[in-house]
Amino acid sequence: MTATHLLYLHGFRSSPKSFKAQRLQAWLQQHRPEVHWWCPQLPPSPREALELMRAGTADWPAEQSAVLGSSLGGFYATVMAEATGWPAVVMNPAVDPARDLATHVGEQTAFHTPEERFFFRPEYVDELRAMTPAAITRPQRYFAIFAKGDEVLDWREMSARYPGVKLRLLEGSDHALSDFDDHLPHLLQFLKLCD
């Protein structure tokens, strides 16, 4: 399968201005402009975020769509992959966001636009818990990039959550994957967008 439709899901407090999203979109515009790219601004409510993703991709071709996500977006990408059967690329994915984000209830600032604020409500933790897949199925449809140098999430938890996937395990790097350009070719090969 060569992906013709790509859904990119950003992380908590992030946005479509994320470095990885911008870098991937720029590569596609230059090399594969025919690929349909969508990187929506996700609402704070996980339930509303999932409704937005489903509505925005409802008419996408099932055999040629793929989802990518980083951090909380990696969790959402897993939820979408399990629901649709699409291939998924997960980058330092949140494994238990209900647990991790329970400490972030309250007012938050947007990472790329600090002047923008939003509220992360207690019920959002319940929404995350409710949508958590029991386990991943068909690990061959996943490509994972885990950084041992991730300062936010534990790569060992990621590895336990995604057994048997095609894995690029980085000795260093960081949560944001600041060295994303080094990994972009591998991601594109998985999606059959380049040789």
Residues 115-138 have a mean pLDDT of 91
**77 vs 14 pLDDT, higher one:** 77
Calpha distance 87→166 (Å, rounded): 11
**pLDDT greater than 80 at residue 146:** yes
- Residue-level pLDDT at 151: 87
Residues 161-171 have a mean pLDDT of 94
Q: Which residues of 152-174 are buried (b: 16+ CB within 10 A; e: fewer)?
A: ebebeebeebbeebbebebeebe
Q: Are 6 and 36 in contact (CB under 8 A)?
A: yes
User: Which residues have CB under 8 Å from 56's CB, separation 6+?
Assistant: 7, 38, 40
pLDDT tens digits along 89-122: 999 999 999 999 999 888 888 777 777 888 788 9
Q: Are 145 and 170 in contact (CB under 8 A)?
A: yes
Residues 48-73 have a mean pLDDT of 96
Q: 3-class SS at 68?
A: strand
Q: How confident is the model at residue 194 (pLDDT cuts 50, 70, 90)?
A: confident
- Residue-level pLDDT at 25: 96
- Residue-level pLDDT at 152: 87
- Residue-level pLDDT at 195: 67
Calpha distance 76→122 (Å, rounded): 18
- Residue-level pLDDT at 175: 82
Candidates 76, 191, 100, 114; CA nearest to 153 is: 100
Q: How confident is the model at residue 144 (pLDDT cuts 50, 70, 90)?
A: very high
The H or E element spanning position 160 is: helix 155-161
Tokens of 102: 């329970």
The predicted model scores a pTM of 0.94
Lowest mean pLDDT among 2-6, 36-40, 109-113: 109-113
- Residue-level pLDDT at 150: 87
Domains of the chain: residue spans and CATH: 5-190 (3.40.50.1820)
Q: 3-class SS at 5?
A: strand
Handedness of CA 148, 153, 154, 157 (dihedral sign): negative
Tokens of 150: 């991730």
Residues 139-166 have a mean pLDDT of 94
Calpha distance 53→48 (Å, rounded): 9
Tokens of 85: 């059967």
